[in-house]
Structure 1
């Protein structure tokens, strides 16, 4: 099916914005992916992509062709999913996304066992603390902390994920412990920040209900594990999921700050495009993950 495979390459290149990324996602070298695109353009006798040294974008014809090619690929995938469902043998590629901390601690450990039980399935995990558009990026399942307000996606809650403010005993000894959430303004708060990130405030549970408190810090990062490392090094107060720092708290490396007024509990769950809900391997992995993760949060 070389033509179909060329369509797959073209779609992933458009979705990911580069031949290298599109090829890597399909486990092809950049040279092979580039040749697939050239073969497709030669077959159609048109240019599908505009290439410069820094950018790659579809031409007007390429954009129109992508819309049709994506529908062809989606229809083929759905047909294969139907066959897999009827045969009882799930197969094919399942693309997952998660934030760095969630992916490393919770999702990555699940994958080897699932693949051992379902050898016809290939799982590809993409980790980033930046916002990912599941539909545009071709992701089948996205594991997230916090329920996004996106009606184009199906949300399934897995469990509540309590959050906690933490710092080292040494930080508290040197800088004092905040007596109320208002005192956080006088501390170095370690923030998860990236373009369009909302975390210039923390939402705290108070006697009056959930409130936003403006916080600031001398430095921030777009990787939650970096924030934990900074907190462990005594550089400030971090707002992290409790499961992430539970061992540090139990062994005294970190202490809980403002335990009577913790951050608002987040929901942990999975997002799925509606069109993928009938895929048996997707349903199998979601059920598998829900069962495995409820006890860890």
Structure 2
């Protein structure tokens, strides 16, 4: 189906803003992706993109064609998903995303086990601590830690993950160990920040109930692993899921602070568009991730305790 494949390439190029990115997303070289776009333009006898050295954007005709082409590609994917349950052997590609820490330490190690079970399924894992748009980015499943976004997406909860505040011994020796939540105002707090990020305050669990603490510091990043690196270097206090820093705690590289008033637990779960669950391979992957993640988190919790 060369024409359908060309439509897929065209749609992803529009959504990702470049032929290179669109081709890479579909595992095509830039040359092949460019050829598909050219063949489409020749077939339609129109110019679909305005091209400059810095930017690629759809023409007015291209934008109109995109709106219809996206529906065609979506309808084909829905049709394939609808019949996938009748196949004894799931096949195709599943695209998932996860936060960096969760993805590296929890999701990436278990994905090969899923592929071993279903060798005709390919999994594309995208890691980012930024918020993503499943529909816009063409993703099937998004794992998250924190408050679930208010959306029309379906949610399956994996578990509540305990969080903690911790810092390197060198930092605590130099600046002192906070004794009360209010002491955090005098400490360098390392924040996960990105556009529209909510983490400019931390909510701690106290005997009087949740206590919101406005915190600040000299460093922030949109990469959770960067924050961990800074904490290990003695630069400040971080607020992390316990499993994310379990190894550092075990080795004494990080030390928990304010254990009597820890941050409130964060939900660990996955989001997916409702129609995606019609697809057998997506449903199987979600079930697999939920079971394995719960087992791994229970194991980590036991080791830390």
- TM (normalized to structure 2)? 0.93
Q: Which moved more, 1:110-119 or 1:56-65?
A: 56-65
Q: How many aligned positions are there? A: 297
Partner of 1:153: 153
Give me the whole-angstrom Cα distance separating, in 2, the residues matched to 1:296 and 1:174.
35
C-alpha contact (below 8 Å) 1:243/1:296 kept by paired residues: no
Partner of 2:128: 128
Give me the whole-angstrom Cα distance separating, in 2, the residues matched to 1:152 and 1:59.
31
Structure 1 residues without counterparts, runs of 5 or longer: none
Give me the whole-angstrom Cα distance separating, in 2, the residues matched to 1:167 and 1:104.
21
Give me the whole-angstrom Cα distance separating, in 2, the residues matched to 1:60 and 1:207.
60
Partner of 2:31: 31
State the SS of the aligned residue for 1:294: helix
- Please give the residue correspondences for 1:253-292 in structure 2 after superposition, counting only pairs within 5 Å: 253-292=253-292
Give me the whole-angstrom Cα distance separating, in 2, the residues matched to 1:82 and 1:273.
14
Partner of 1:167: 167
Partner of 2:87: 87
Deviations 1:178-217, CA, capped at 9 Å, x for gaps: 1111111111111112222222111111223223211111
Partner of 2:300: none
Shift of 1:72: 1.5
Partner of 2:303: none
Structure 2 residues without counterparts, runs of 5 or longer: 298-305
Give me the whole-angstrom Cα distance separating, in 1, the residues matched to 2:99 and 2:148.
14
C-alpha contact (below 8 Å) 1:9/1:26 kept by paired residues: yes
Shift of 1:126: 0.9
State the SS of the aligned residue for 2:278: coil
State the SS of the aligned residue for 1:246: helix
The reply to whether residue 220 of structure 1 matches residue 207 of structure 2 is no
Root-mean-square deviation (CA, aligned residues, Å) is: 1.4
- TM (normalized to structure 1)? 0.96
Shift of 1:52: 2.2
Give me the whole-angstrom Cα distance separating, in 1, the residues matched to 2:101 and 2:82.
34
Give me the whole-angstrom Cα distance separating, in 1, the residues matched to 2:158 and 2:34.
40
Deviations 1:143-183, CA, capped at 9 Å, x for gaps: 11123233321111111111110012222122111111111
Partner of 2:21: 21
Deviations 1:60-94, CA, capped at 9 Å, x for gaps: 32222222212211221222223321122211111
C-alpha contact (below 8 Å) 1:146/1:267 kept by paired residues: yes
Give me the whole-angstrom Cα distance separating, in 2, the residues matched to 1:283 and 1:84.
11
Distance 1:277 1:150, change over 3 A: farther
C-alpha contact (below 8 Å) 2:81/2:276 kept by paired residues: no
